[in-house]
Structure 1
């Protein structure tokens, strides 16, 4: 095993990477509230894992979506557990994100030179809310259907382009299969990809600039 490790070490400098990860200075004022961002990240990873597991059973059609969710809850092995963890970790992610934003704001973590860190954090907060909206629709029950209808109808109040925005969100003039397909694609591909990119930017800047100090 040592020869295998030495082979990779010579080419990748694994030890140098490990030292860089573990040698960052942690200020003495850091407390549990500074872990809220990390908890949010953990919730996101749980979301990815449990969401991926459910894609094996979920069917994104208006005729089968609800039945497939019922199958996950009652027939699939540990499906009830996976979906429950997905649902509760989603709520936890939103809560931790809100608390994290408040903590950063109250401790001045948005000030120079961390403006871009704050901006990427705000973008991540918007993406988190978008996860909630799109995920809420996927069971395609009465609550999900009417939630989508109301949310996608909001842009209609915008002059000139309102109707076009509504049709873009719904895929047609009314809520239906095209809407569910769009929301499923957003929830399982577009939003996770954007979140991963902005998280990478966010944490890279935190490592570069360090943890902000107390007020």
Structure 2
């Protein structure tokens, strides 16, 4: 076993990486409220795992979406547990994100030199809310359908380009298959990809600039 470790150590310098991670100084004022961002990340990872599991059974069509969700809940092995964890961790992720934003704001985490950390964090907050909106529609039940109809109808109040934006979001003049396809693609591919990109920007900046001061 040591030979295998030595082989990787020689090429990747694993011990140096581990020492750099574990030797990072943590300010004495840090408390449980500084863990909210980490909890949000944990919820996101749970979302990815449980969401990926459900893609094997979910069918993103207006005629089969609701039935496929019912199948996950009643027929698929541990489907009820996977979907329940996905649903509740989604709510937890949004709650932790909101509390994290408040904590960062109250401790001045948006001030120099952490402006870019704050900007990427706000983008991640918007992406988190977008996960909630798009995921809410996927069961395609009455609540999901009308939620999509209301959300996609909001831009219509914008002068000149409002109608075009609505049609872009829905894929047509009315809510239908094109809308569900768009929301499914956003929820399972576009938003996770963007979230991963901004996390890869957000975390190194936190590590570089350190944690903001106490309240």
Partners of 1:4 and 1:43 lie apart in 2 by 34
Q: How does 1:49-198 map to 2 (within 5 A)?
A: 49-198=49-198
Deviation at 1:165, TM superposition (A): 0.5
Please report how far the alpha carbon of residue 7 of structure 1 lies from its aligned counterpart in structure 2 after TM superposition.
1.1
Deviations 1:169-196 (A, max 9, x none): 0001110000000000000000001001
Q: Distance in 2 between matches of 1:104 and 1:5?
A: 40
CA distance in 2, matches of 1:19, 1:161: 54
* Superposed CA offset, 1:17-39 (max 9, x none): 11111110000000000000000
CA distance, structure 2, for counterparts of residue 22 and residue 110 of structure 1: 26
Q: Following TM superposition, by how much is the alpha carbon of 1:213 offset from its aligned partner in structure 2, in angstroms?
A: 1.4
CA distance in 2, matches of 1:75, 1:94: 29
- TM-score, reference length from structure 1: 0.99
Structure 1 residue 199: Cα displacement: 1.0
Tell me if 1:42 matches 2:42: yes
Q: Which runs of 5+ in 2 are unaligned?
A: none
CA deviations over 1:113-171 (Å, ceiling 9, x no partner): 00000000000000000000000000000000000000000111111111111111000
CA distance in 2, matches of 1:126, 1:176: 25
Deviation at 1:103, TM superposition (A): 0.4
- Other structure's SS at 1:113 match: coil
Q: Distance in 1 between matches of 2:158 and 2:137?
A: 23
Distance between the aligned counterparts of 2:22 and 2:174, measured in 1?
A: 53
> CA shift at 1:5, angstroms?
1.1
For the aligned residue pairs, the C-alpha RMSD in angstroms reads: 0.6
- What's the secondary structure of 2:123's corresponding residue? helix
Q: How far apart, CA to CA, are the structure 1 residues paired with 2:135 and 2:88?
A: 12
1:2, distance to aligned residue in structure 2 (A): 1.1
- Secondary structure, aligned partner of 1:30: coil
What's the offset of the Cα at 1:49?
A: 0.3
Query: Given the two structures, how large is their TM-score scaled by the length of structure 2?
Result: 0.99
Deviation by residue 1:78-124 (Cα, 9 ceiling, x = unmatched) = 00000000000000000000000000011111110000000000000
Task: Give the aligned length.
Answer: 215
Unaligned runs of 5+ in 1: none
- 2:204 maps to which residue? 204
Helix, strand or coil for the counterpart of 1:140?
coil
CA distance in 2, matches of 1:73, 1:214: 45
Q: Distance in 1 between matches of 2:214 and 2:181?
A: 46
What is the DSSP-based 3-state SS (H/G/I as helix, E as strand, rest coil) of the residue aligned with 2:25? coil
